[in-house]
Structure 1
Amino acid sequence: MSEDGSSSEETNTPTTSVSQDTSTAETTAITTSAFNIHPETPSSSSSFNTHLAVQSLSSILTTVSPSLLSQDQDPAFYLLHNPDISSQVSSLLHLPDSGAGDNNLCRWFYDTFQSSEPQLQLVVLRFLPIIAGLYLSRVALKKPLAGFEAVLLAIYAHETTSRAGQAVTVNVPDLSYPSIYHESKRPAKDNDAADLNLAVISPSLEPHGTVRSTRRARIVGVALELYYSKISLMPVGSKIDFCEFCKVWSGQEGHELQDDEDSVEFQENQGNADKESVIKEGRIALPWELLQPISRILGHCLLGPTRDEELIGSASAACRSLYSRSLHDINPHAILATRSLLRLSKMALDPKNNVDHTEIPMSDVISL
């Protein structure tokens, strides 16, 4: 009897395991079919988040098809560089109620950035110029902007965690110290004096759960700092969007500014050389917390490796508008920064500077 009982137990055990394996296989098949993941491909958390983001975006945009997941190219790269997707997202963001808290596109931006996938975060940062531009321009209109604020706070929280309470600093050389390549008869100074050469680019961040008027410039500025750190990966269209919003933020027309080698002066406009520029809608306050990352981004647009004529022209126009605004506000820091950008823009537009000095010149003349 005991032998029969043991044999019956042995035959029942494999049956139970087979049923469990069957249910697991069915569950896996349902999951993979729901997200168009090939069953033979090992699904990592990264690919799962990417597929989930594409599925969610396909319900918002008509240009995103779920069949994108079955293609060989990277879906995140496709979302970042596809012009049709960028155009439709831009159109949706420019709608009057796009920044509301119940906006599906803002919710997608928030959830996608919170996924902590670097490639998906780049897709969100690609549209940061439009989000920040519309948000800052609409604040004075007292419109509901909880959707935009949620995205900006998510980016700010990400930077707060990444920096771990540390400020972004840079060491500036002190010319009062002798060079290590030269001998000096002067006695060496105290090492404590070298601490004074530590320049703070961005102070340490404090966690914030809401956007107040006193924190708004800092939160948006930190988001722009993150955008600048990834700007080499951004498409040209995103940079042009940023330059266009810089002109809107300045609230000034920079067309009447004339560049020369030594100064930037106002041209006479109908006999009035001191006539103020026309103030447009969208003008915002430009504290240094905003103007510093703006200047760094514009500097990249002017002198970056992407020598795009449209980008350089748009960045130059933004520099002229910001310089006109700094003169209007009589802001010394802004005048110095924007004046330097104007000089850089002139260098970028000068064809004489588009020379590769690493190339060997070809000439038929033999010089002795």
Structure 2
Amino acid sequence: MQEHQQQQESQSWWSEITQARARIDALSAILGGFPSLEPLRASETPARDLLGDSAVADVVISKLSSPGAGKGDDELCQWMYETYHSGDPELQSVVVRFVPAICNAYLPRAASKPGQSLSGFEAVLLALYSSEHKIRQGKGILVTIPNLSQPSLYHTPRVPSSSATEIKAGYYSPSLQPQEAVKTTKRAAIVGVALDLFHRKIAAMPDRSKLELCCAIREWAMRGCSWAERVDEVAKLALLQAIAPGPDVTLTGHVTTVGPSSSTSIFVSRQSFDDDEDEDGDHKERTLRIPLPWELFQPILKILGHCLLGPSSSPETRDSAGAAARALYARATHEIIPEAILPTRGLLRLDEAARAASLAAATAVASASTNSTPSKPKKPEVLLTPGK
């Protein structure tokens, strides 16, 4: 019985390797070959090695970002569609690894040229969406929050409560409806599911793919905005105004308050967020902005949170995530989206706290190293006196 089970496992392992090698050969035919083809074919874990292969990533991203990519006859999109439907989790991770590149090529083109054919990109995004719809069975993700007025499990209440513990429930993610095409009204939800899937697998993703997505998010937030060139300054001003003790604190430009005057009020600088108008008040013709509704904001914020605070993130990825968070905060404050302002502001404060802690730790280490360095003993002073 045990021998039969081992034989089945061996056959399954070999079939996975054979399938992965076949997909690598198909990718090589599309890309025109790549230097690491033979090492990948000879590997015992070809799909896992393909996931982290930087040479393949360079060629794939270059083809996805080309002007003619994403059409219905795009062979690379067809390869991704078929690879994801292979059912192999490691091959599926390879497709998810390129979600940042797909979204970065798809969203700007969909926003600037609505009639352009992008059915190749949309087929891959629909494959990810359909898989997630099947896993969730169309249901939303429900979270429950205990009533904070009730005593916790770790404390004995002085006065026992007679009422039952109330639990408040809310949908972390709404239910998913089956989609056969990417309609304009459903585009954000479909792309958001793909980004959420990337977040679920982010621990297995190469650090480079996280960096690519952080850079793309910053571009999405600034695209078509007149303040894009000074986005860091705008975000800093908005953050200072948000934590100001009251409306008496004024910065450059006219300050408008939103909500009651308190320490939690949100202040928006009109000069910092000047709309796309020239001196005569005429509207300038600029690149169209990429819509960022909550369906996109939510998975983006989770990804940035992981990149900022994840222990495996490189310093370059953390810096890029912080820059993306500043751009999102400026965009959310400009468009006055409360549900996006609060979490982006929280990301900025977490980033500042992490940087301060890292600087303090580095200073402490440098100080300890200086104090522990043994100093060279001084020679005793010899006083020469004239002989008698």
TM-score (norm 2): 0.74
Task: Give the direction of change, closer, same or farther, for the CA distance of 1:237–1:90 in structure 2 (3 Å limit).
Answer: same
* Partner in structure 1 of residue 20 of structure 2: 50
Contact 2:101 2:212 in 1 (8 A): yes
- How far did residue 168 of structure 1 move? 1.7
Give the aligned residue type for 2:124. Answer: V
Trace 1:62-211 onto structure 2 (pairs within 5 A).
62-63=33-34, 66-140=37-111, 141=113, 142-184=115-157, 185-191=159-165, 193-194=166-167, 196=168, 198-211=169-182
Mapped partners of 1:331, 1:262: distance in 2:
15
Give the aligned residue type for 2:141. Answer: V
- How far did residue 239 of structure 1 move? 0.7
Task: Give the direction of change, closer, same or farther, for the CA distance of 1:303–1:244 in structure 2 (3 Å limit).
Answer: same
Task: Give the direction of change, closer, same or farther, for the CA distance of 1:268–1:239 in structure 2 (3 Å limit).
Answer: farther
Task: Give the direction of change, closer, same or farther, for the CA distance of 1:82–1:264 in structure 2 (3 Å limit).
Answer: farther
- How far did residue 133 of structure 1 move? 1.9
Match status 1:303 vs 2:309: yes
- How far did residue 125 of structure 1 move? 0.7
SS in structure 2 at match of 1:59: helix
Match status 1:275 vs 2:272: yes
Gaps of 5+ in 1: 1-40
SS in structure 2 at match of 1:263: helix
Match of 2:338 among 332, 335, 356: 332
Task: Give the direction of change, closer, same or farther, for the CA distance of 1:167–1:258 in structure 2 (3 Å limit).
Answer: closer
* Partner in structure 1 of residue 233 of structure 2: 256
Mapped partners of 1:278, 1:239: distance in 2:
31
- How far did residue 353 of structure 1 move? 6.5
Mapped partners of 1:260, 1:306: distance in 2:
31
* Partner in structure 2 of residue 33 of structure 1: none
Mapped partners of 2:80, 2:174: distance in 1:
27
Which is worse superposed, 247-256 or 347-356?
Answer: 347-356
- How far did residue 262 of structure 1 move? 7.3
CA deviation string 1:281-322 (max 9, x = no partner): 463111111101000000001000124111111111111111
Give the aligned residue type for 1:52. Answer: A
TM-score (norm 1): 0.78
Which is worse superposed, 62-71 or 90-99?
Answer: 62-71
Give the aligned residue type for 1:316. Answer: G
Mapped partners of 2:108, 2:54: distance in 1:
25
Give the aligned residue type for 2:81. Answer: Y
Give the aligned residue type for 1:182. Answer: H
Mapped partners of 2:101, 2:251: distance in 1:
32
SS in structure 2 at match of 1:179: coil
Task: Give the direction of change, closer, same or farther, for the CA distance of 1:283–1:258 in structure 2 (3 Å limit).
Answer: closer
- How far did residue 71 of structure 1 move? 2.2
Contact 2:70 2:118 in 1 (8 A): yes
Give the aligned residue type for 2:342. Answer: L
SS in structure 2 at match of 1:60: helix
Gaps of 5+ in 2: 1-9, 243-249, 254-268, 277-285, 373-388
Contact 2:35 2:55 in 1 (8 A): no
Mapped partners of 2:174, 2:35: distance in 1:
40
Mapped partners of 2:161, 2:357: distance in 1:
49
Matched residue pairs, number? 317
- How far did residue 144 of structure 1 move? 1.1
Match of 2:294 among 288, 293, 306: 288
Trace 1:231-246 onto structure 2 (pairs within 5 A).
231-246=202-217
Task: Give the direction of change, closer, same or farther, for the CA distance of 1:264–1:258 in structure 2 (3 Å limit).
Answer: farther
SS in structure 2 at match of 1:172: strand
Mapped partners of 1:104, 1:201: distance in 2:
36
Contact 2:207 2:313 in 1 (8 A): no
Give the aligned residue type for 2:310. Answer: G
Mapped partners of 1:237, 1:273: distance in 2:
37
- How far did residue 172 of structure 1 move? 2.2
SS in structure 2 at match of 1:200: strand
* Partner in structure 2 of residue 341 of structure 1: 347
SS in structure 1 at match of 2:185: coil
Give the aligned residue type for 1:190. Answer: A
Trace 1:313-332 onto structure 2 (pairs within 5 A).
313-332=319-338
- How far did residue 218 of structure 1 move? 0.6
SS in structure 1 at match of 2:171: strand
Which is worse superposed, 129-138 or 45-54?
Answer: 45-54
- How far did residue 349 of structure 1 move? 2.6
CA deviation string 1:141-162 (max 9, x = no partner): 1321000000000000000111
Task: Give the direction of change, closer, same or farther, for the CA distance of 1:262–1:315 in structure 2 (3 Å limit).
Answer: closer
